[in-house]
Chain A
Amino acid sequence: QKEVEQDPGPLSVPEGAIVSLNCTYSNSAFQYFMWYRQYSRKGPELLMYTYSSGNKEDGRFTAQVDKSSKYISLFIRDSQPSDSATYLCAMSRFTTSGTYKYIFGTGTRLKVLA
């Protein structure tokens, strides 16, 4: 079983739609949960991170974590064409070597149609 699973999409939505992106994970040692956005041929950029179950809002973005179900989500409200990108979930756990190891999902490609 993969440590982190994410539907690769692609997902096409009309402008203004609410987008829901999801990941599941198997390793309960993960402590921190992140969403990165990656534009074509660019490096990933951090959108949001959280470490506890529940919701965290930042503008049009809401990150949701359910540790009991090992499930995380990212919601985008009032989606815009500029939101078109690949969204990567990422999780990290502390390692015995004293660093954090980050594991990424496959990424979901999102296209918001004008």
Chain B
Amino acid sequence: EPEVTQTPSHQVTQMGQEVILRCVPISNHLYFYWYRQILGQKVEFLVSFYNNEISEKSEIFDDQFSVERPDGSNFTLKIRSTKLEDSAMYFCASRDRGDFTGELFFGEGSRLTVL
């Protein structure tokens, strides 16, 4: 069964360091998303991406964040200078169609711990 894969599963970093989280969406999917879930809290929308550009972003997704689809298969989230409050589980998700019958598929998540 096709799935969204994310790496790393867990990353520990020092405050101020750059982090790149990687995602391989399902191959025929067109729409890509990043969500964040701080421990015990809600799943929060960060950004959506379609046709090689950001289509929507939340207020959380400030200048420290960027996304890229560098090679047609990977979809990355970069945090330029991590803060303690960036510690969270980051989920990548993808869907295959513009009409709603496309399910949003989530990866297993990348846990980021900022010390």
Contact = CB atoms under 8 A, between A and B. Distances in A.
Interface of A: 31-32, 41-46, 49, 51, 88, 92, 95, 97-107
Chain B contact surface mostly:
strand
Given A43-B106, A43-B107, A100 B100 contact: yes
Interface of B: 4, 31, 33, 35, 41-45, 48, 50, 55-56, 89, 91, 93, 95, 98, 100, 103-109, 111
Nearest to B51: A98
Contacts of A88: 43
Contact of A105 (B42, B50, B100, B105): B42
29 contacts: A32-B100, A41-B109, A43-B4, A43-B106, A43-B109, A44-B91, A44-B106, A45-B106, A46-B103, A46-B105, A51-B100, A92-B100, A95-B55, A95-B56, A97-B48, A97-B55, A98-B55, A99-B48, A99-B56, A100-B100, A101-B45, A102-B33, A103-B45, A104-B42, A104-B44, A104-B45, A106-B41, A107-B42, A107-B43
Chain A contact surface mostly:
loop
A92 to B, nearest CB: 7
A103 B104 CA distance: 12
A83 to B, nearest CB: 19
A104 B100 contact: no
